Chain A
Amino acid sequence: MSNDPQVGPVQTATAPPPLVTKPKRQDRPASLWSDALYDLRRRPMFIVSVALIAILLVMSLWPSLFASIDPFDPKTCELATARQGPSAGHIFGRDNLGCDVYARTIYGARNSIVIGITTMIVTAVIGGLLGLIAGTRGGAVDTVSSRITEIFFAIPWILGSLLITATFRDADLGIWIVVIALAVLSWPMTFRIMRAAVITARSQDFVVAARALGAGQGRIMFRHLLPNALAPVIVVSTINLGGFIAAEAALSFLGVGVQSPNISWGLMIADARNRFLEAPLPLFFPALFLSITVLAFIMLGDAVRDALDPKLR
């Protein structure tokens, strides 16, 4: 590769470069992202998790495609049939109030997905942006913001979210209170990852070269540092997404997350736990869906990590 043809003083303008002898160029471009996508498409783990997530997304957007019963309609619940086992039209059985477990489980996907994805986006944007600034600027800005994140790291998340949700209980924020609680406590994670990646990128020659060729600070930050520091943030955010969904279920289980009559898997598990030995199915199905959802996102995160940054494995 290093014996460059066509150079030196002997070159003449008459001879065009012999394109025929050049090996045929690969059709796919070789950017990090297209390489990663190419790599991902051949991973069974990625395909399985994407398929599961696709089903879950459709489920949360159009739950009526999956369940003919509307669980928000009180007429569909019959107290007399409470805790009835699976039957025709009610394949997962009925819960403590005689409502259809299958329909409720399907409709419960929406809150999990919405809360998980929103929290992920909020933490990635806030933590990423602050991490980018702290890593680029360094000095006092970096020191102060890093100490602030350490304060957040010191707060146990379940305690912190109980505090936040309890404080803003009367503000009537609906499911968004869960997003706020989780985002406030989780942005330091993305902050740290982004900051570390930016600091690594900052000392590389191409950043110095960009400065030497006249790039301003904003351009260096968004064109040179951000694209080179984005991969680890995407990986961690994807893996965190599963964690956020589990956290939402935990908060709802504790009674501070999603509130009835809204439906959430965590809430369903909480409702069913007292009669679990008698009627295990109303607890089992939401728990199963929750586990599969969390697993799907963690698998996706792992696959993305392997594709974007094999060294982290």
Chain B
Amino acid sequence: MSSKKHLQLAYGLAIVLLVVGVGSYAYTALTATVLDEPVRIQFKSVAGKVLYSHKMHTAETGYGFACYDCHHHPEDDETSLRACGDCHQGPLEEGVVLESCLECHDSDEVEDTEITKMGDAFHSKCIQCHQEAEAGPEECSQCHVL
């Protein structure tokens, strides 16, 4: 192959793959859907990240937990349950109302703004459940990755 043909090949590769690349990025962005349920969630904290398998805890082939075993708001509508981090963001300054609250409630409807911070909520929920079931990690280093 002559050097001219090599150059043409490189130009061809650059143009074709640029079109394919931009098109594929656009396609994945446009077709991206918010999953009904997350597969895995990576929680980040100063004590190290935690990779939590939501699917393993909820699937029938896994531990088969019901939504309300962990989620608790709103209490009467399973289809619109909130993610943990939507509410457990504390400690909040007094009088501050979370945006996630205002999506459904007026600000004067929100009385209790003292919400447990996420780390405490998780520690309490995860460890308590693992202890009760006598299964799953209970020590820090069994979940947290520094």
Are the chains A and B members of one assembly? no
B: residues with CB less than 8 A from A are none
